[in-house]
């Protein structure tokens, strides 16, 4: 089984870049499932139904998310339908939607789990305990976890915690791809952060001068996405069809 994963897609230009390059990536890599984090796909954060549909039409099978997903009420119906848009599983139980689904591909069933980190973000249910409960109920050989989190140590800790129990743990949220992809001792693939699909000359997708202004002055500053050359960052992961364990990881950056 082969999965293609794309980091946080930022704004309309990020969505347009996915449309531009993903059909070619699908032809080149022939993935069984394509997963993208879409929580910044709408301009000004969050996800709108139109951006979700755009990503799906571009070849994304499953959209994961994170701390911004409940920002736009318009997405709540799609979350409730639970067909292809996930919110973190460890949000409050009253939040719309769910954090796990099983994707029925042509050749394989792949469970996708979305979790939110507890460090340096809004308080959530403990992601370690939450994923334990989810795994008890999941009967699937291939399990991919998108851990949307800020802290490198929390992401690595969850990777080792799930080693041998899931196929792959990928981090999202920091928008900067890490060069630490590896197969953990128990056979779980891991990367601390996939990176983003957004403007390369930006601060996490935002116009640098606005980020600088906020950092320098601490005055309220409305962020706007940067415009210009885009880069899609992500990972191609291969798994043993018999065991579900990771066998090969390849980071990708497509300008
Ligand atoms: Fe985020």
| Cα(192) to centroid(ligand 1), Å | 14
Contact assessment for residue 17 and residue 197, using Cβ atoms and an 8 Å cutoff: yes
39 Cα to the center of ligand 1, angstroms: 7
Q: What is the mean pLDDT of each run of 10 residues along the chain (255 residues)?
A: 98 98 98 98 94 98 97 97 97 97 96 97 94 97 98 98 98 98 98 98 97 97 96 98 98 98
d(CA 180, CA 211): 27
Residue-wise pLDDT tens digits, 53-85: 999 999 999 999 999 999 999 999 999 999 999
- Output the CA 148–ligand 1 centroid distance in Å: 6
Rounded to two decimals, the pTM is 0.98
The pair of structure tokens assigned to 129 is 């305990």
CB atoms within 5 A of ion ligand 1 belong to 66-67, 173
The pLDDT > 90 percentage for the chain reads 97
Strand order in the sheet with 189-191: 100-104, 109-116, 142-148, 168-172, 189-191, 182-183
What pLDDT, on the 0 to 100 scale, is given for residue 44? Answer: 85
What one-character-per-residue DSSP string does 95-135 give?
Answer: SSS-SEEEEE-SS-EEEEEEEE--TTSS--S-HHHHHHHHH
Furthest CA-CA distance within the chain? 56
What is the model's pLDDT at position 90? 98
Q: How far is the CA of 172 from the centre of ligand 1 (A)?
A: 7
């Amino acid at each position: 089984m082969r999965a293609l994963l794309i980091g946080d897609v930022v704004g309309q230009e990020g969505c347009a870049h996915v449309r531009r390059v993903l059909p070619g990536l699908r032809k080149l890599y022939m993935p069984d499932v394509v997963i993208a984090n879409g929580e910044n796909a709408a301009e000004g954060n969050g996800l709108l139904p139109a951006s979700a549909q755009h990503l799906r039409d571009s070849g994304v099978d499953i959209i994961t998310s994170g701390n911004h997903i409940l920002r736009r009420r318009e997405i709540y119906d799609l979350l409730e339908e639970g067909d292809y848009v996930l919110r973190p599983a460890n949000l409050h139980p009253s939040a719309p939607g769910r954090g796990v689904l099983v994707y029925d591909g042509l050749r394989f069933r792949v469970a996708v789990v979305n979790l939110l980190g507890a460090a340096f973000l809004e308080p959530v249910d403990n992601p370690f305990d939450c994923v334990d409960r989810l795994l008890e109920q999941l009967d699937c050989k291939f399990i991919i976890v998108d851990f949307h989190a800020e802290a490198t140590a929390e992401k690595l800790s969850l990777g080792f915690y799930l080693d041998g129990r899931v196929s792959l743990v990928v981090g999202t949220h920091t928008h900067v791809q890490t060069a630490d992809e590896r197969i953990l001792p128990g056979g779980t693939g891991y990367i601390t952060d996939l990176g983003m699909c957004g403007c390369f000359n930006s601060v996490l997708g935002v116009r640098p001068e606005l980020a600088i202004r906020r950092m320098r002055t601490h005055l309220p500053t409305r962020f706007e996405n940067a415009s210009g050359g885009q880069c899609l960052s992500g990972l191609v992961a291969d798994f043993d069809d018999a065991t579900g364990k990771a066998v090969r990881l390849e980071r990708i950056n497509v300008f």
